[in-house]
Structure 1
Amino acid sequence: MLIPLVIEMMIVLVIISILLLIAVPNLAKNQSMASEKGCEATKDLIKAQYFAYEIDTGNKPESLSVLEDQKYVDTLKCPDGSTVTLNDLGL
Protein backbone atom coordinates (compact mmCIF):
# COMPACT_ATOMS: atom_id res chain seq x y z
CA MET A 1 0.00 0.00 0.00
CA LEU A 2 2.84 2.40 0.79
CA ILE A 3 4.96 1.49 -2.28
CA PRO A 4 2.49 2.86 -4.90
CA LEU A 5 2.32 6.15 -2.98
CA VAL A 6 6.12 6.46 -2.95
CA ILE A 7 6.28 5.69 -6.68
CA GLU A 8 3.64 8.35 -7.42
CA MET A 9 5.56 10.91 -5.37
CA MET A 10 8.78 10.09 -7.22
CA ILE A 11 7.04 10.49 -10.59
CA VAL A 12 5.68 13.88 -9.52
CA LEU A 13 9.15 14.97 -8.36
CA VAL A 14 10.68 13.89 -11.67
CA ILE A 15 8.06 15.88 -13.60
CA ILE A 16 8.62 18.97 -11.45
CA SER A 17 12.41 18.63 -11.91
CA ILE A 18 12.04 18.45 -15.68
CA LEU A 19 9.83 21.55 -15.69
CA LEU A 20 12.39 23.44 -13.59
CA LEU A 21 15.20 22.40 -15.93
CA ILE A 22 13.23 23.91 -18.78
CA ALA A 23 12.10 27.09 -17.00
CA VAL A 24 15.22 28.27 -15.13
CA PRO A 25 17.48 28.86 -18.19
CA ASN A 26 14.70 30.83 -19.89
CA LEU A 27 14.28 33.04 -16.83
CA ALA A 28 18.00 33.83 -16.74
CA LYS A 29 17.99 34.63 -20.46
CA ASN A 30 15.00 36.95 -20.06
CA GLN A 31 16.67 38.74 -17.14
CA SER A 32 19.74 39.63 -19.19
CA MET A 33 17.59 40.72 -22.13
CA ALA A 34 15.52 42.97 -19.86
CA SER A 35 18.69 44.54 -18.47
CA GLU A 36 20.00 45.26 -21.99
CA LYS A 37 16.68 46.80 -23.06
CA GLY A 38 16.59 48.90 -19.91
CA CYS A 39 20.03 50.31 -20.67
CA GLU A 40 19.07 51.05 -24.28
CA ALA A 41 15.97 52.91 -23.07
CA THR A 42 18.03 54.92 -20.59
CA LYS A 43 20.50 55.90 -23.33
CA ASP A 44 17.63 56.96 -25.63
CA LEU A 45 16.15 59.11 -22.85
CA ILE A 46 19.49 60.78 -22.07
CA LYS A 47 20.09 61.43 -25.76
CA ALA A 48 16.65 63.06 -26.11
CA GLN A 49 17.31 65.22 -23.05
CA TYR A 50 20.72 66.16 -24.47
CA PHE A 51 18.97 67.66 -27.49
CA ALA A 52 16.24 69.22 -25.30
CA TYR A 53 18.97 71.00 -23.30
CA GLU A 54 20.58 72.19 -26.53
CA ILE A 55 17.24 73.57 -27.78
CA ASP A 56 16.43 75.24 -24.45
CA THR A 57 19.82 76.89 -23.92
CA GLY A 58 21.20 77.21 -27.44
CA ASN A 59 24.39 75.44 -26.29
CA LYS A 60 25.48 71.83 -26.18
CA PRO A 61 26.04 70.56 -22.64
CA GLU A 62 29.73 70.38 -21.71
CA SER A 63 29.14 66.96 -20.17
CA LEU A 64 26.24 64.70 -19.32
CA SER A 65 26.52 65.69 -15.66
CA VAL A 66 25.12 69.09 -16.66
CA LEU A 67 21.89 67.34 -17.64
CA GLU A 68 21.71 65.75 -14.21
CA ASP A 69 22.56 69.01 -12.42
CA GLN A 70 19.91 70.94 -14.38
CA LYS A 71 17.30 68.18 -13.67
CA TYR A 72 16.93 67.11 -17.30
CA VAL A 73 17.58 63.52 -16.18
CA ASP A 74 17.40 61.82 -12.80
CA THR A 75 20.41 59.58 -13.31
CA LEU A 76 23.19 58.84 -15.76
CA LYS A 77 23.34 55.16 -14.85
CA CYS A 78 21.80 52.19 -16.60
CA PRO A 79 19.74 49.74 -14.54
CA ASP A 80 22.77 47.42 -14.52
CA GLY A 81 24.80 50.14 -12.74
CA SER A 82 27.03 51.21 -15.64
CA THR A 83 27.42 54.94 -16.26
CA VAL A 84 26.38 56.36 -19.62
CA THR A 85 28.96 58.53 -21.41
CA LEU A 86 28.82 60.79 -24.46
CA ASN A 87 30.59 58.06 -26.44
CA ASP A 88 27.82 55.59 -25.55
CA LEU A 89 25.30 57.97 -27.09
CA GLY A 90 27.29 58.51 -30.28
CA LEU A 91 27.56 62.25 -29.64
Structure 2
Amino acid sequence: MKNEKGFTLIEMMIVLMVISVLLIITVPNITQHNTTINTKGCDAFVKMVEGQVQAFNIDKKRLPSSIEELVSTGYLKSGETSCSDGRQITLTAGGVVTAVEPTTPN
Protein backbone atom coordinates (compact mmCIF):
# COMPACT_ATOMS: atom_id res chain seq x y z
CA MET A 1 0.00 0.00 0.00
CA LYS A 2 1.22 3.46 -0.92
CA ASN A 3 0.98 6.40 1.42
CA GLU A 4 -0.75 9.04 -0.75
CA LYS A 5 -0.98 11.77 1.85
CA GLY A 6 0.71 15.08 0.98
CA PHE A 7 1.80 16.76 -2.23
CA THR A 8 4.24 15.62 -4.86
CA LEU A 9 7.24 17.68 -5.89
CA ILE A 10 5.58 18.54 -9.24
CA GLU A 11 2.44 19.86 -7.50
CA MET A 12 4.54 22.05 -5.19
CA MET A 13 6.52 23.41 -8.15
CA ILE A 14 3.30 24.26 -10.02
CA VAL A 15 1.95 26.14 -6.99
CA LEU A 16 5.22 28.09 -6.65
CA MET A 17 5.15 28.90 -10.37
CA VAL A 18 1.59 30.28 -10.13
CA ILE A 19 2.53 32.41 -7.11
CA SER A 20 5.61 33.70 -8.94
CA VAL A 21 3.57 34.66 -12.00
CA LEU A 22 1.07 36.55 -9.83
CA LEU A 23 3.90 38.44 -8.13
CA ILE A 24 5.53 39.27 -11.45
CA ILE A 25 2.24 40.76 -12.65
CA THR A 26 1.24 42.72 -9.52
CA VAL A 27 4.51 44.21 -8.21
CA PRO A 28 5.29 46.37 -11.29
CA ASN A 29 1.71 47.70 -11.32
CA ILE A 30 1.95 48.79 -7.70
CA THR A 31 5.32 50.49 -8.12
CA GLN A 32 4.21 52.11 -11.39
CA HIS A 33 1.28 53.80 -9.67
CA ASN A 34 3.19 54.87 -6.55
CA THR A 35 3.30 58.56 -7.48
CA THR A 36 -0.42 58.59 -8.25
CA ILE A 37 -1.16 56.96 -4.91
CA ASN A 38 0.99 59.51 -3.05
CA THR A 39 -0.58 62.45 -4.91
CA LYS A 40 -4.13 61.32 -4.17
CA GLY A 41 -3.22 60.63 -0.55
CA CYS A 42 -1.79 64.12 -0.19
CA ASP A 43 -4.87 65.68 -1.82
CA ALA A 44 -7.06 63.82 0.69
CA PHE A 45 -4.85 65.00 3.55
CA VAL A 46 -5.17 68.63 2.37
CA LYS A 47 -8.98 68.23 2.39
CA MET A 48 -8.81 66.87 5.95
CA VAL A 49 -6.71 69.85 7.08
CA GLU A 50 -9.22 72.19 5.39
CA GLY A 51 -11.91 70.53 7.50
CA GLN A 52 -9.85 71.17 10.63
CA VAL A 53 -9.45 74.82 9.63
CA GLN A 54 -13.23 75.08 9.33
CA ALA A 55 -13.69 73.40 12.71
CA PHE A 56 -11.22 75.85 14.25
CA ASN A 57 -13.10 78.75 12.63
CA ILE A 58 -16.43 77.51 14.03
CA ASP A 59 -15.02 77.01 17.54
CA LYS A 60 -12.86 80.16 17.80
CA LYS A 61 -14.78 82.51 15.46
CA ARG A 62 -11.57 83.25 13.55
CA LEU A 63 -9.17 81.56 11.15
CA PRO A 64 -5.95 80.03 12.49
CA SER A 65 -2.80 82.00 11.79
CA SER A 66 -0.69 78.96 10.89
CA ILE A 67 -0.52 75.19 10.80
CA GLU A 68 1.43 75.34 14.07
CA GLU A 69 -1.58 76.97 15.75
CA LEU A 70 -3.76 74.04 14.61
CA VAL A 71 -1.20 71.67 16.13
CA SER A 72 -0.87 73.60 19.40
CA THR A 73 -4.65 73.78 19.89
CA GLY A 74 -5.09 70.06 19.19
CA TYR A 75 -6.80 70.22 15.80
CA LEU A 76 -3.84 68.38 14.21
CA LYS A 77 -1.28 65.99 15.66
CA SER A 78 2.30 67.23 15.79
CA GLY A 79 3.49 64.91 12.99
CA GLU A 80 0.66 65.91 10.65
CA THR A 81 2.26 68.90 8.98
CA SER A 82 3.46 67.17 5.81
CA CYS A 83 2.28 64.61 3.29
CA SER A 84 3.81 61.16 2.92
CA ASP A 85 5.49 62.28 -0.32
CA GLY A 86 7.37 65.06 1.50
CA ARG A 87 5.24 68.06 0.56
CA GLN A 88 4.66 70.52 3.39
CA ILE A 89 1.16 71.68 4.33
CA THR A 90 0.86 75.48 4.40
CA LEU A 91 -1.95 77.79 5.43
CA THR A 92 -2.43 81.24 3.90
CA ALA A 93 -3.93 84.21 5.72
CA GLY A 94 -7.26 83.59 3.98
CA GLY A 95 -7.46 80.05 5.36
CA VAL A 96 -6.46 78.31 2.13
CA VAL A 97 -4.58 75.04 2.70
CA THR A 98 -2.00 73.92 0.12
CA ALA A 99 0.72 71.32 -0.17
CA VAL A 100 4.05 72.70 -1.42
CA GLU A 101 7.36 71.06 -2.23
CA PRO A 102 9.87 71.51 0.58
CA THR A 103 12.63 74.00 -0.11
CA THR A 104 16.12 72.56 -0.22
CA PRO A 105 19.03 74.68 0.98
CA ASN A 106 21.78 75.30 -1.57
TM, length-normalised to structure 2: 0.58
Gaps of 5+ in 1: 1-12
The corresponding residue for 1:3 is none
Q: CA RMSD in A?
A: 2.6
Shift of 1:38: 1.1
After superposition, residues 11-90 of structure 1 pair within 5 angstroms as 20=24, 23-74=26-77, 75-86=80-91, 89=97
Higher RCO structure (Cα 8 Å, ≥6 apart) = 1
SS of the residue 1:84 aligns to? strand
Shift of 1:81: 2.3
Structure 2 Cα separation of the partners of residues 82 and 70 of structure 1: 22
Q: Number of residues paired by the alignment?
A: 76
Gaps of 5+ in 2: 1-16, 99-106
Residues 40-76 of structure 1: per-residue CA shift (max 9 Å, x gap): 1110010000010011001111112110111101211
Select the structure that is richer in helix: 1
Ranges of 4+ aligned residues in structure 1 off by more than 6 Å: none
Structure 2 Cα separation of the partners of residues 58 and 89 of structure 1: 18
Shift of 1:25: 3.6
Q: Percent identity?
A: 30
Shift of 1:30: 2.2
